[in-house]
C-alpha cells in the first residue's frame, strides 16, 4: 500500500499528527537502543525509534551524559524521546528543554521496575498514583508543542492491577498513545506477559495501543496482534542480536555470513558514535548476542569477545569470512 504521491508505506496509525508506517517497533532499552542500534533496526523495518529512558532530573541539571543519549539521526523519525521522573514540575521542565531538540514525540516511562527508579516514585512507581499521572499528562499535553505518550506496566503488583484507571487518566489528559508491557512491577520479568490485559486495554482505549511482552519470534508478532488487536507490537529482548526480526526473519534464518556483515556494520557505527575505545567495549554485548547459539561458532564468539583492539576484532571477522567462503 502506498500513499498517493510519496513512496512511503501507508500510515498504520497516528500519534497526534505523526504517522507511524509500520506495526513492529524496537522497544526502548537502556544500554541497547542507542543511535547506532536504533538506526539499524529502523532501516530493517522497526516503524519508529524510541530512545532509552533518560532521567528528567539529570536533564534539568544539564547532565551531558544524559543529553548524549538523545542524539539521533533524521532517518530515525518518527523519533520518541523517553524520560523518567517522579516530580511533575521536573518532568515538565525536562520535557520542555528536550522538545527543543525536535523529537517527534515525548514518552513518559511508567514501567521501569528497578528499585532505584520505581522505589523513588518514578518509572513503575508512578502507577501507584493514577491521579498524579493524570496531572503530569495534563501539564505536558497543554505545554508541549508535540504529542506526549506513555509506556506502562499493568500495575504495581497483582493486588493493584490498575491499568484501566491509568489508561483513562492518561487519555483524559491528552496522552496520544500508550505502550503496555503486560506484567506488573513486582513481576519484573517473571511469569508470562498477560496479553488478555493488553486486549482489554485496546478495547477501552481511544488512543493507539502498542502491545509489549514476550514476543520472541516473527510468528509471535502476528499472534500478539491477533490476540490483542493492538495497533503495533514492541520488541525488546528478542531484538538484541536479531535486528532482522523487524524484516520478518528469525535469528535462525540468518546465516553466519550475513551476521558477520552486520557485525562489521554495527561495529563501525558504534566506533563512529562512541569513539574507538568505548565503541568496541560497548559492542561486546551485541556480538555476544549476534553470534549466539550458532553451531561451530563458539570459539569465534569467545575470541571476538576478548579482542582488545578494533584491528584484532576485524582480523577475526575476516578470518571467519574466509573460512565461510572456502567452505562454500
Ligand atoms: C536491557 C533492557 C533495558 C530496558 N530499558 C528500558 C527503558 O529504558 N525504557 C523502557 O520503557 N523499558 C525498558 N525496558 C523494558 C522493555 O522495553 C520491555 O518493556 C520489556 O523488556 C518486555 O519486552 P520483551 O518481552 O520484548 O523483552 C528494558 C528492557 C531490557 C531487557
Q: What is the CATH number of the domain that holds 132?
A: 3.20.20.70
User: 116 with 244, same domain?
Assistant: yes
What is this structure's pTM? 0.96
8 within some domain: no
310 within some domain: yes
Contact 29 CB / ligand 1 (< 6 Å): yes
- Contact between 71 and 51 under an 8 Å Cβ cutoff? The reply is no
For ligand 1, the distance from its centroid to the CA atom of residue 122, given in whole angstroms, is 15
Cell of 237: 529482548
Contact 151 CB / ligand 1 (< 6 Å): yes
Contact 283 CB / ligand 1 (< 6 Å): no
Question: pLDDT tens digits for the chain (328 residues)?
Answer: 444 556 789 999 999 999 999 999 999 999 999 999 999 999 999 999 999 999 999 999 999 999 999 999 999 999 999 999 999 999 999 999 999 999 999 999 999 999 999 999 999 999 999 999 999 999 999 999 999 999 999 999 999 999 999 999 999 999 999 999 999 999 999 999 999 999 999 999 999 999 999 999 999 999 999 999 999 999 999 999 999 999 999 999 999 999 999 999 999 999 999 999 999 999 999 999 999 877 778 889 999 999 999 999 999 999 999 988 898 8
Nearest atom of ligand 1 to the alpha carbon of 239 = 26
7 within some domain: no
Of 207, 225, 249, which marks where a domain is finished?
Answer: 249
Residue 41 a catalytic site member: no
Q: What would the DSSP string read from start to end of 42-72?
A: HHHT-SSEEEEEEEHHHHHTT-HHHHHTT--
* Boundaries of domain holding 292: 255-327
User: 208 with 264, same domain?
Assistant: no
The closest alpha carbon to 307, from 324, 288, 321, 290, belongs to 288
- Contact between 78 and 20 under an 8 Å Cβ cutoff? The reply is yes
The closest alpha carbon to 161, from 122, 201, 123, belongs to 201
Of 221, 249, 277, which marks where a domain is finished?
Answer: 249
The closest alpha carbon to 71, from 61, 81, 63, 62, belongs to 81
Look up residue 2 and give its DSSP letter.
B
1 within some domain: no
Q: What's the number of domains the chain is made of?
A: 2
Nearest atom of ligand 1 to the alpha carbon of 52 = 8
User: 100 with 240, same domain?
Assistant: yes
Q: What share of the chain is helix, strand, coil (3-state, %, to 5)?
A: 50, 15, 35
Amino acid at each position: 500500500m502506498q500513499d498517493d504521491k510519496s513512496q512511503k508505506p501507508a500510515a498504520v496509525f497516528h500519534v497526534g499528527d505523526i504517522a507511524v508506517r509500520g506495526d513492529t517497533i524496537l522497544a526502548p532499552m537502556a544500554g541497547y537502543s542507542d543511535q547506532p542500534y536504533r538506526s539499524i533496526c529502523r532501516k530493517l523495518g522497526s516503524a519508529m525509534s524510541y530512545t532509552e529512558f533518560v532521567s528528567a532530573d539529570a536533564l534539568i541539571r544539564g547532565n551531558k551524559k544524559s543529553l548524549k543519549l538523545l542524539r539521533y539521526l533524521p532517518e530515525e523519525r518518527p523519533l520518541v524521546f523517553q524520560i523518567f521522573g517522579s516530580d511533575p514540575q521536573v518532568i515538565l521542565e525536562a520535557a520542555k528543554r528536550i522538545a527543543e531538540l525536535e523529537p517527534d514525540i515525548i514518552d513518559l516511562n511508567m514501567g521501569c521496575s528497578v528499585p532505584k527508579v520505581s522505589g523513588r516514585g518514578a518509572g513503575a512507581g508512578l502507577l501507584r498514583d493514577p491521579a498524579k499521572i493524570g496531572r503530569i499528562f495534563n501539564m505536558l499535553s497543554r505545554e508541549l508543542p508535540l504529542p506526549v505518550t506513555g509506556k506502562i506496566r499493568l500495575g504495581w503488583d497483582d493486588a493493584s492491577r490498575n491499568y484501566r484507571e491509568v489508561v483513562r487518566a492518561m487519555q483524559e489528559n491528552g496522552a496520544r498513545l500508550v505502550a503496555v508491557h503486560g506484567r506488573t512491577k513486582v513481576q519484573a520479568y517473571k511469569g508470562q506477559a498477560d496479553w488478555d490485559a493488553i486486549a482489554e486495554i485496546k478495547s477501552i482505549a481511544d488512543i493507539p495501543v502498542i502491545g509489549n511482552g514476550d514476543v520472541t519470534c516473527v510468528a509471535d508478532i502476528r499472534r500478539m496482534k491477533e490476540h490483542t488487536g493492538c495497533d503495533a507490537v514492541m520488541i525488546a529482548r528478542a531484538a538484541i542480536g536479531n535486528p532482522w526480526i523487524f524484516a520478518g526473519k528469525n535469528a535462525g534464518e540468518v546465516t553466519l555470513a550475513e551476521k558477520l556483515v552486520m557485525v562489521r556494520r554495527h561495529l563501525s557505527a558504534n566506533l563512529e558514535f562512541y569513539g574507538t575505545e568505548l565503541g568496541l567495549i560497548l559492542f561486546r554485548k551485541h556480538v555476544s548476542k549476534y553470534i549466539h547459539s550458532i553451531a561451530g561458532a563458539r570459539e569465534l564468539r569467545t575470541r571476538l569477545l576478548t579482542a582488545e583492539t578494533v584491528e584484532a576484532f576485524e582480523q577475526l571477522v575476516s578470518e571467519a569470512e574466509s573460512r565461510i567462503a572456502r567452505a562454500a
